[in-house]
């Protein structure tokens, strides 16, 4: 079999990626959360996923007089966006991303005598199992 036999699936992946990026960019234009929070599609080295970033410039929890950029990324497989219900799936992924982001921020800011009540860099709620309270 020649090397050209692998070309059509690769071209198909690129076409799906291009279409998925177009749909997501258009969709993200209508998504809002809090002031100064934004969602964006960022370049990913993986051709089979889209990288979505939630970003805000906010006060630093260690020095509130200074602002810092806080980001969170998720990868969405492009094959999840070919179904007719892709908007429902994608909206849910954004919602879970917000919950995880806010959970992290709560743990960054909630301190007792200067110490974090909970470690902010532990797994977010969506990545935990029921027994990991």
Per-residue model confidence (pLDDT) at position 130:
43
pTM: 0.81
Alpha-carbon Rg for the chain in angstroms: 19
Please tell me the distance from the alpha carbon of residue 109 to that of residue 118, in angstroms, as a whole number: 10
Residue with tokens 């036999």: 5
Is residue 108 over pLDDT 80? yes
Is residue 122 over pLDDT 60? yes
CA dihedral angle for residue 47, residue 32, residue 58, residue 51, rounded to 10 degrees: -10
Which tokens hold the place of 93?
Answer: 């992924």
CA dihedral angle for residue 79, residue 84, residue 89, residue 91, rounded to 10 degrees: 120
Contacts of 96 by beta carbon, 8 Å cutoff, 6+ apart? 126
Q: What percent of the chain has pLDDT over 90?
A: 61
């Amino acid at each position: 079999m020649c090397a050209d036999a692998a070309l059509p699936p690769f071209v198909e992946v690129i076409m799906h990626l291009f279409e998925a990026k177009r749909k997501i960019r258009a969709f993200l234009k209508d998504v809002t959360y809090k002031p100064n929070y934004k969602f964006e599609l960022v370049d990913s080295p993986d051709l089979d996923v889209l990288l979505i970033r939630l970003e805000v410039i906010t006060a630093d929890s260690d020095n509130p007089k200074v602002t810092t950029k806080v980001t969170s990324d998720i990868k969405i497989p492009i094959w999840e966006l070919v179904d007719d219900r892709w908007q429902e799936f994608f909206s849910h992924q954004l919602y879970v991303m917000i919950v995880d982001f806010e959970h992290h921020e709560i743990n960054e800011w909630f301190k007792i005598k200067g110490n974090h009540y909970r470690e902010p860099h532990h797994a977010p709620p969506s990545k935990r199992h029921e027994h990991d309270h």
